[in-house]
Amino acid sequence: MHQHNCVSLVPLFSQLSEQEQDTVNSIVHQHHYQTGETIFAAGDSMDALMIIASGQAKVFQLASNGKEQLLHLLTAGDFDGETALFSQAKHNSFAEALMPTMICQINRTEFQQLMQKYPTISLNLLNELGRRMTELEKRTTQTSTSSVESRLADYLVETSAQFGKNDFKLPLKKKDLATYLGTTPETISRKLGELERNGLIEQTGSKQICIVDQEALEML
Amino acid sequence: MHQHNCVSLVPLFSQLSEQEQDTVNSIVHQHHYQTGETIFAAGDSMDALMIIASGQAKVFQLASNGKEQLLHLLTAGDFDGETALFSQAKHNSFAEALMPTMICQINRTEFQQLMQKYPTISLNLLNELGRRMTELEKRTTQTSTSSVESRLADYLVETSAQFGKNDFKLPLKKKDLATYLGTTPETISRKLGELERNGLIEQTGSKQICIVDQEALEML
DNA sequence: CGAGGTGTTGACTGCCCTCAAACTTTGTGG
DNA sequence: CCACAAAGTTTGAGGGCAGTCAACACCTCG
């Protein structure tokens, strides 16, 4: 069987030599998930670090009223489960594949040995956790201080920057985008319409967005 | 001068021997801040890890419209600035002392050397970052899925649990509590009044709260 | 082609934010 | 230790943003 090499893809291990990466690769367990399939659920015990080799997954929580809150969008090279590496805790969130997705897992104990052997790994972990923390802090601040319109505008500008062009396809269903921005699909739909009517964007196709007036968007 | 020993207070260094802690203590710089004094501001360059030796500080962001969002409340033993340890970045948030507060700083380069020498430090850091991440994720979910009333109820229950008794004094001004929960002082005031009228709590004095019906609070 | 999930549009409602004024607590200097 | 100023809190009135509900249109994919 052709074993896809997760390890070389991941920034987490990028500073290791090729030989060291092989070592890591040998203790990795692979899993494949289909679109819509659950990767883990709240309540599951966490005992491994998960790395996205290919595909895309969403991490979200469910409130007691059943509402969904999207916390992170994971793409190739991203990982999750780091809080599990020390405390033998349960997942407090869900993860679901948004497309056919390959996941590499490393058991807690094995990963702990890795970190002892190669200290740069834990530094990389710290780095990435910090980055994600900063991102979440920003989003938290925005959700409780700004209007949906400006959050959406900000999201569009940032996403377009990631793609490096004004014309791009939303990487999320609007349903998920809504919970990501802390609002509802209906409101997203309306606000996008409003932005279009005001000449700031154009909706060329399903999920296809073109930014017309970036400055005005940033102004919100 | 009597040098307050920060290091022994901090879980971060708790696994080090007494002698090793002394070493760490020798590279620590101390600063004292008065109530209301700014510890760092957004835009300041980050070049040190900060540890609260005694006192209390709030970490918050300012939105473009001037609104404040409280992100973390730091008390003795907590630290901040970990994202600064690798990337030579700027602070994106503010920190302000809420009472006379003693802070211990360790420079980036010196702390990096420490982490190389004592790998358990970075593991402790990871642990704490994960904890804080989990906490923020929960709060984010709550702010965009639940009503102010239930967020407040949840906060009261959790805070009472921290103190270990039903009768306690709010550790924050209501103004700050409001931005912590993503609302306004007026709304906090009203909701507390409502909870009291419904017999779930009692407001015995300024900031003094007594939980009467914990079950009903958790129900929200 | 049909079915289920997804997106759109409209009408309505309500939570909570805003503004403003009175009252209370805090803390500081005389 | 008191007095007074500044900050924080409470209460009321009013309005707006966005959530809810419902019906319909639209994809996407068996």
Tens of pLDDT, residues A19-54: 888 888 889 999 999 999 999 999 888 889 999 988
* Residue B36: exposure state from Cβ atoms within 10 A (0-12, 13-18, ≥19): exposed
Select from B71, B45, B67, B42 the least CA-distant residue to B57. Answer: B71
B205 and B101 in one domain? no
User: What's the token pair of residue B19?
Assistant: 């002698």
Cβ(B101)–Cβ(B57) below 8 Å: yes
Put simply, the answer to whether A63 touches B141 (Cβ < 8 Å) is: yes
Neighboring chain B residues of A82 at a CB cutoff of 8 Å: 126, 130
Å between CA of A220 and C1' of D15? 22
How high is the pLDDT of residue A3?
Answer: 52
Q: Using beta carbons and an 8 Å cutoff, which residues of A are at the interface with B? A: 61, 63-65, 67, 69, 71, 82-83, 85-87, 92-93, 115-116, 119, 122-123, 125-127, 129-134, 136-146, 179, 182-183
Domain enclosing residue B48, as ranges: 3-142
Number of structural domains (chain B) is: 2
CATH number for the domain spanning A82: value is 2.60.120.10
Of A5-14, B3-12, B125-134, the least confident:
B3-12
What percentage of chain A's residues is helix, strand, coil (to nearest 5)?
A: 45, 25, 30
Instruction: Give the CA-to-C1' distance from A91 to D28 in angstroms.
Output: 32
Quick one: tokens of B70?
């409280």
- In this prediction, residue A4 carries a pLDDT of 58
Q: Answer whether any strand C atom is within 7 A of the Cβ of A131.
A: no
Q: Which residues does A68 contact at the CB level (< 8 Å), separation at least 6? A: A60, A61, A62, A179
> Quick one: A105 and A132 in the same domain?
yes
Chain B, nearest residue to A67 by Cα = B145
Query: Using CB atoms, which residue from A140, A146, A182 is nearest to B136?
Result: A140
- The whole-number pLDDT of residue A89 equals 82
Buried/exposed B134-146: b ≥16 CB within 10 Å, e otherwise: eebbbbbbbbbbb
Tell which of A142, A175, A201 closes a domain. A142
Size of interface A-B (CB pairs under 8 A): 122
The reported pLDDT for the residue numbered A88 is: 73
Mean pLDDT is highest, among A72-81, A175-184, B23-32, for A175-184
Same domain, A150 and A138: no
Give the pLDDT of residue A1: 39
* pLDDT at residue B153 in the model: 97
Residue A43 in contact with residue A26, Cβ under 8 Å?
no
Last residue of a domain, one of A108, A142, A176: A142
Alpha helices (H) along chain A: 18-26, 108-117, 119-145, 148-163, 174-180, 185-197, 214-219
One domain for residues A138 and A155:
no
Search chain A and give the residue with CA nearest B141.
A69
- In this structure, the answer to whether residues A97 and A167 fall within a common structural domain is no
Distance from CA of B1 to the nearest CA of A (A): 36
Mutation target among A83, A128, A176, A218 for the B interface, most CBs of B within 10 A: A83
Q: How many H-runs (helices) and E-runs (strands) does chain A carry?
A: 7, 11
- How many whole angstroms separate alpha carbon B51 and alpha carbon B106? 8
Residues B117 and B20 in one domain: yes
> What is the value of pTM for the model shown?
0.90
Residues A102 and A181 in one domain: no
Task: Tell me, yes or no, whether B130 and B195 share the same domain.
Answer: no
How far is the C-alpha of A15 from the C-alpha of A122, rounded, in Å?
Answer: 12
Residue environment code for A15-37, b if the CB has 16+ CB neighbours within 10 A, otherwise e: ebeeeebeebbeebeeeebeeee
Query: Is pLDDT above 60 for B191?
Result: yes
Which of chain A's residues have a Cβ under 8 Å away from the Cβ of B123?
86, 115, 122
**Residue B83, pLDDT above cutoff 60:** yes
* Cα gap A12→A124, rounded to integer Å: 6
Kindly determine whether residue A83 and residue B144, on different chains, have CB atoms separated by under 8 Å: no
Q: Which nucleotide is nearest to B176 (CA to C1')?
A: D8
For chain A, percent of residues with pLDDT exceeding 70:
98
Q: Are residues A135 and A183 in the same domain?
A: no
Average pLDDT, chain B: 90
Distance of alpha carbon A128 from alpha carbon B83, whole angstroms: 9
Residues 6+ apart with CB under 8 A from A87: B127, B130
In this prediction, residue B4 has a pLDDT band, given cuts at 50, 70 and 90, of: low
Angle between helices A119-145 and B119-145 (to 10 degrees): 20
Band the pLDDT of A2: cuts 50, 70, 90: very low
Burial class (CB in 10 A: 0-12, 13-18, 19+), A162: exposed
Alpha carbon of A185: minimum distance to chain B alpha carbons (Å): 14
What residues in A contact B183, CB-CB < 8 Å?
A: 144
Residue-wise pLDDT for B48-71, tens only, equals 899 998 899 999 999 988 899 999
Protein side of the strand D interface (CB < 7 A):
A 67, 147-149, 182-184, 186-187, 206; B 173-175, 185-186, 188-190, 192-193, 203, 206-207
The DSSP line for chain B is ------GGG-GGGTTS-HHHHHHHHHT-EEEEE-TT-EEE-TTSBP-EEEEEEESEEEEEEE-TTS-EEEEEEEETT-EE-GGGGTS--B--SEEEESSSEEEEEEEHHHHHHHHHH-HHHHHHHHHHHHHHHHHHHHHHHHHHHS-HHHHHHHHHHHHHHHHTSSEEE-SS-HHHHHHHTTS-HHHHHHHHHHHHHTTSEEEEETTEEEES-HHHHHH-
The pLDDT value recorded for residue B166 is: 93
CATH of the domain at B194: 1.10.10.10
Span B136-183, pLDDT tens digits: 999 999 999 999 999 999 999 999 999 999 999 999 999 999 999 999
The domain boundary residue, chosen from A123, A142, A161: A142
Residues 6+ apart with CB under 8 A from B104: B6, B7, B28, B29, B30, B31, B50, B51, B53
Q: Which of B164, B142, B159, B152 is nearest to B200 (CA)?
A: B152
Contact A99, A56 (CB under 8 A): yes
Joined together, the tokens standing for residue B197 give: 């009228």
Do A49 and A134 fall into the same domain? yes
Q: Residue closest to C15, CA→C1'?
A: B147
pLDDT digits (tens, 9 = 90+) for A88-132: 788 999 999 999 999 999 998 898 888 888 888 888 888 888 889
Considering the domain architecture, whether residues B101 and B189 belong to the same structural domain is answered as no
Give me the percent of chain A exceeding a pLDDT of 90: 63
Q: Which of B117, B141, B188 to mutate to test the interface with A (most CBs of A within 10 A)?
A: B141
Same domain, B137 and B152: no
